[in-house]
Amino acid sequence: MRIVYVLTSLGMGGAERVVLALAGRMAQRGHTVALLVLRPPVAEQWPTELQVVHLEMSKTPVSVLAGLAHARRFLREFRPDLVHSHSFHANIVARLLKGLAAAQVISTVHNVYEGGWPRMLAYRLTDGLSCRTTAVSQAAADRFVRLKAVPQSKCVVLTNGIDITEFAPSADRRVRMRAEMGAKAEFIWLTAGRIVPAKDYPNLLRACARVRTSCQETQLWIAGEASGQEFSAVLTLAAELGLEESVRWLGLRRDLPALLDAADGFVLASAWEGMPLVVGEAMAMEKPVVVTDVGGVRELVGDAGVIVPSKNSDVLATAMLDDMQRSPEDRRTLGLAARARIQANFSMDAKVDEWEALYRTILARSK
């Protein structure tokens, strides 16, 4: 198969990471693969050895038209069998390009919320240009069908995959990383994700402040892009809550497995999600997880972690404290159950098998 994956950017987000992993494995299986990226390269982005074409699009009409023309030339030369796009902007662009190549277009939704009614209307109006829309969780699929952005008959759930080889615990790496980070006897909570409203860092910071009133020997490490007004606001809140010494802002990191090794637990306080890759990665690393009940989180975690309501810092803090008060043996048992769940249900190799089967089914029906 000749496959083009369309992304908005190669920035260091979870959706980008999982798409690159999927594309790379498809190439390893002998398929001819290329990446079509709407935005220009950014300073911090995931590396790849695959062919990448940047369309250099921005918010100006001229750049959009120039990008579409560039994409048209590329697609005519590449002659893909499938164009598989991911998230709103890439999905719409891929659909608009439908008439420029004899390829089947597959759209993937990565979140329960991809914008307001204008975007849902755009999905509805362009649905005929896509042969299938997939969602990374049942929660996301249900919401898009309910909003009539996607017809039920064309919507399929295919969850994210986790690389259980890359995300495997190492006792030696834990010791090295804790020493490098200066961690001593403290209980380390790790979270990861950009400082954006979806992640609801104010909720997490308020929960952390409550945890600190009962247990001073704890730290929260936050790995994720930290800039802009949202970051300024959460920094101010952290100071107001007296958390300057107990919260560490790590910025963008490429060593998440090592950070997870060093941590004692993983926490996610999001207000909305699709299927958060990082939670599955923490589970694969045998970490106890405390997560909010949003999007596809419950589908991912099952009974192998603690799930609490969103936007409730008191309940989140109680769950974190309960986890900290478990015996090391109990946390170990929970961590083993978490990894076993990922291995059984969400391994990357199994998901690539599912994608490959879907691609073949779509191409067979198109003949």
Instruction: Count CA atoms closer than 13 A to 84's CA, side-chain side.
Output: 26
User: pLDDT of the chain along its 367 residues, tens only?
Assistant: 999 999 999 987 888 989 999 999 999 999 999 999 999 998 888 889 999 999 999 989 999 999 999 999 999 999 999 999 999 999 999 999 986 666 899 999 999 999 899 999 999 999 999 999 999 999 999 999 999 999 999 999 999 999 999 999 999 999 999 999 999 889 999 999 989 999 999 999 999 999 999 988 999 999 988 777 888 999 999 999 999 889 999 998 989 999 999 999 999 999 999 999 999 999 999 999 999 999 999 999 999 999 999 999 999 999 999 999 999 999 999 999 999 999 999 999 999 999 999 999 999 987 7
Q: Please report, as a single letter, which amino acid is at residue 40.
A: P
pTM beyond 0.85 = yes
Residue ranges of the chain that CATH labels 3.40.50.2000: 2-161+347-366, 171-345
Q: Quick check: helix, strand or coil at residue 136?
A: coil
Locate the DSSP E strands across the chain: 2-7, 32-37, 51-54, 82-86, 104-109, 132-135, 155-157, 187-192, 218-223, 247-251, 265-268, 289-292, 306-308
Contacts of 249 (CB under 8 A, 6+ apart): 222, 226, 235
Domain spanning 2-161+347-366, CATH architecture: 3-Layer(aba) Sandwich (3.40)
Q: Quick check: helix, strand or coil at residue 188?
A: strand
Q: Please report, as a single letter, which amino acid is at residue 36.
A: L
Question: What CATH class has 171-345?
Answer: alpha beta
Contacts of 63 (CB under 8 A, 6+ apart): 56, 57
